Amino acid sequence: LTSNNLIIIDVGGGSSEVSYFPSKTAPSFCSIPLGAVWLTEKFLKHDPPLVTEYQDLSEFCQHMIRKKTSPYLKIPKKYFIGTGGTATTIAAMQQEMTHYNPEKINNFPVSYLSLQKLKKTLLSMSINERVCIKGLERGREDIILAGVSVFLNFMELIEASHIIVSDAGLLEGIINNTADNTAVEPISS
């Protein structure tokens, strides 16, 4: 995977962190108020959610993504990376994992069409029904639909056919980058 034109998104509980690494200029970073917990609390009032609630959530996501990331929505040849708990949970669900395996999560491609199918399934299920989905981490059954929506809306707006899931998060990336750019002295006793 090249480091050119990478868009990395980490969907958290209260916000989504977006990092863009262009091929010829300095990277840029932004935080968008599109967290899975926050969106669920704001928009998804019924169980299962009403279609109109989901549509309102989706429209809000599109508005915020356009507002915060418009400079790089139409860049050609982008690589779209999903990191963090929402992305890894989606990959685990796609593979119907009964036990989390980071080696099978890392670099797993999730297509737009499979994410659309997952959205439709989640939209039709109650929270109690979602608990039975293989790969869905306990405690995420109420917020996973909102997280899926953030990824779907990003994919639509940046015209991505799939995302690549990374088991490593932003923190690991910062540590790696710091280690690569710093002379490390051995610890002496």
- Residues 63-91 pLDDT 10s: 999 998 877 666 666 789 999 999 999 99
What's phi and psi for 109, nearest 5 deg?
A: -85, 135
Is the pLDDT at 55 greater than 90? The verdict is yes
Is the pLDDT at 164 greater than 90? The verdict is yes
pLDDT band at 109 (very low <50, low <70, confident <90, very high): very high
d(CA 74, CA 59): 19
pLDDT band at 54 (very low <50, low <70, confident <90, very high): very high
- Please report how the helices 51-69 and 36-43 are oriented relative to each other, as an axis angle in degrees rounded to 10: 130
d(CA 95, CA 29): 30
pLDDT band at 179 (very low <50, low <70, confident <90, very high): very low
d(CA 58, CA 78): 22
Read off the tokens for 183. Answer: 């002379």
Question: What is this structure's pTM?
Answer: 0.86
In 10 A of CB 157, how many CB atoms?
16
What strands lie across the sheet with 28-32, from one edge to the other?
Answer: 28-32, 16-21, 6-11, 79-83, 162-166, 108-111
Q: Is 66 helix (H, G, I), strand (E, B) or coil?
A: helix
Average pLDDT for 169-186? 47
d(CA 35, CA 176): 26
